[in-house]
Structure 1
Amino acid sequence: MAAITAPAPTTARPPSYYVRQRLLGNKPAMFGLGFIALCTLIAVLGYWVLPDNSPSANNSIVQLQKEPPGFQATILRLPAPKDSVSADNVFLTWWQGRAPRYAEQPIGSYRIVGDSLITEPYRNHSALADKSRRYSLAQITGHTGSAAELRQEVEETHIVHRTYWLGTDKAGRDELSRLLLGTRISLGIGLVAVLISLALGMLIGAVAGYVGGWVDSLLLGLMTVVWSIPGIMLVIAISLALDSKGVWTSFVAVGLTMWVDVARVVRGQMLSLRTTTFVEAGRVLGLPQSRLIARHLLPNMTGPLIVIATSNFAAAILLEAGLSFLGLGVQPPAPSWGLMVNEGFQLLGTQAGLWLTLLPGLAISLLVLSFNLLGNGLRDAYDPKTPLSHA
Structure 2
Amino acid sequence: MAGTVSSTSVSRPPSYYIRQRLLRNKPAMAGLAIIVLAVLVALGGYAFMPDSTPNANNGLVQVQKKAPGFSTAILKLARPEAMVPDVNPIAFVLYGRPAAYSELPVESVSFRGDSLYVQPLRSNNALADQLRVFAMAEVLAEPAQYNSPEAMAAAIRQEHLEERTFWLGTDKAGRDVLSRLILGTRISLGIGFVAVLISLVIGITVGATGGYFGGWVDKVMIFLMTVVWSVPSIMLVIAISLALDSKGVWVAFVAVGLTMWVEVARVVRGQILSLKEKTYIEAAQVLGVSQFKIIFNHLLPNIIGPLIVIATANFASAILVEAGLSFLGLGVQPPAPSWGMMVNEGFQLIGARAGLYLVLLPSICISLLVLAFNLLGNGLRDAYDPKIPLANV
| Shorter-chain TM-score range | over 0.9
The residue that corresponds to 2:16 in the other structure is 17
Residue from 299, 305, 320 that aligns with 1:318: 320
Residue from 3, 6, 9 that aligns with 1:8: 6
Q: TM-score, normalised by structure 1?
A: 0.96
The residue identity in structure 2 corresponding to 1:164 is F
The residue identity in structure 1 corresponding to 2:100 is R
Instruction: Answer whether contact 2:68 2:169 (CA < 8 A) is retained.
Output: yes
Query: 1:305–1:324: structure 2 CA closer, same or farther, 3 Å change rule?
Result: same
Determine helix, strand or coil for the equivalent of 2:200.
Answer: helix
The residue that corresponds to 1:178 in the other structure is 180
Query: 1:346–1:277: structure 2 CA closer, same or farther, 3 Å change rule?
Result: same
Once residues 41 and 363 of structure 1 are traced to their aligned partners in structure 2, the CA distance between those partners, rounded to angstroms, is 15
The residue that corresponds to 1:259 in the other structure is 261
The residue identity in structure 2 corresponding to 1:325 is F
1:210-235 Cα deviation digits (max 9, x unpaired): 00000001110110111111111111
Once residues 29 and 6 of structure 1 are traced to their aligned partners in structure 2, the CA distance between those partners, rounded to angstroms, is 38
Instruction: Answer whether contact 1:206 1:263 (CA < 8 A) is retained.
Output: yes
Once residues 214 and 221 of structure 1 are traced to their aligned partners in structure 2, the CA distance between those partners, rounded to angstroms, is 10
The residue identity in structure 2 corresponding to 1:112 is F
The residue identity in structure 2 corresponding to 1:8 is S
Identity of aligned residues (%): 61
Instruction: Answer whether contact 2:122 2:128 (CA < 8 A) is retained.
Output: no
Query: 1:200–1:390: structure 2 CA closer, same or farther, 3 Å change rule?
Result: farther
Residue 129 of structure 1 deviates from its aligned partner by: 5.5
The residue identity in structure 2 corresponding to 1:281 is A
Instruction: Answer whether contact 1:67 1:352 (CA < 8 A) is retained.
Output: yes
Residues 48-59 of structure 1: matches in 2 within 5 Å? 48-59=47-58
1:174-199 Cα deviation digits (max 9, x unpaired): 00000000011100000000000001
Superposition RMSD on alpha carbons, in Å? 1.8
Listed as ranges, the gaps of 5+ residues in structure 2 are none
Query: 1:115–1:310: structure 2 CA closer, same or farther, 3 Å change rule?
Result: same
The residue that corresponds to 2:161 in the other structure is 159
1:41-86 Cα deviation digits (max 9, x unpaired): 0100111111101010000001100000011010011123554322
Listed as ranges, the gaps of 5+ residues in structure 1 are none
Residue 131 of structure 1 deviates from its aligned partner by: 3.2
Once residues 276 and 217 of structure 1 are traced to their aligned partners in structure 2, the CA distance between those partners, rounded to angstroms, is 22
Query: 1:127–1:66: structure 2 CA closer, same or farther, 3 Å change rule?
Result: closer
After the TM superposition, which of the residue ranges 110-119 and 348-357 deviates more from structure 2?
110-119
Residue 127 of structure 1 deviates from its aligned partner by: 6.5
The residue that corresponds to 1:136 in the other structure is 135
Once residues 362 and 74 of structure 1 are traced to their aligned partners in structure 2, the CA distance between those partners, rounded to angstroms, is 30
Determine helix, strand or coil for the equivalent of 1:388.
Answer: coil
Residues 63-142 of structure 1: matches in 2 within 5 Å? 63-123=62-122, 130-142=129-141
The residue that corresponds to 1:373 in the other structure is 375
The residue that corresponds to 2:211 in the other structure is 209
Once residues 48 and 365 of structure 2 are traced to their aligned partners in structure 1, the CA distance between those partners, rounded to angstroms, is 18
Query: 1:390–1:238: structure 2 CA closer, same or farther, 3 Å change rule?
Result: farther
1:353-377 Cα deviation digits (max 9, x unpaired): 1011000011000000000000000
Instruction: Answer whether contact 1:63 1:126 (CA < 8 A) is retained.
Output: no
1:305-324 Cα deviation digits (max 9, x unpaired): 00000000000000000000
> Aligned pairs, how many?
389
Q: TM-score, normalised by structure 2?
A: 0.95
The residue identity in structure 1 corresponding to 2:332 is V
Once residues 133 and 349 of structure 2 are traced to their aligned partners in structure 1, the CA distance between those partners, rounded to angstroms, is 36
The residue that corresponds to 2:39 in the other structure is 40
Once residues 151 and 10 of structure 2 are traced to their aligned partners in structure 1, the CA distance between those partners, rounded to angstroms, is 73
The residue identity in structure 2 corresponding to 1:179 is L
Once residues 57 and 170 of structure 1 are traced to their aligned partners in structure 2, the CA distance between those partners, rounded to angstroms, is 14
Residue 5 of structure 1 deviates from its aligned partner by: 8.9
Once residues 121 and 186 of structure 1 are traced to their aligned partners in structure 2, the CA distance between those partners, rounded to angstroms, is 37
Residue from 298, 317, 328 that aligns with 1:296: 298
Query: 1:389–1:71: structure 2 CA closer, same or farther, 3 Å change rule?
Result: farther
Residue 149 of structure 1 deviates from its aligned partner by: 2.8
Instruction: Answer whether contact 2:195 2:256 (CA < 8 A) is retained.
Output: yes
Determine helix, strand or coil for the equivalent of 1:100.
Answer: coil
1:315-364 Cα deviation digits (max 9, x unpaired): 00000000000001110011000000000000011111101100001100
The residue identity in structure 1 corresponding to 2:262 is V
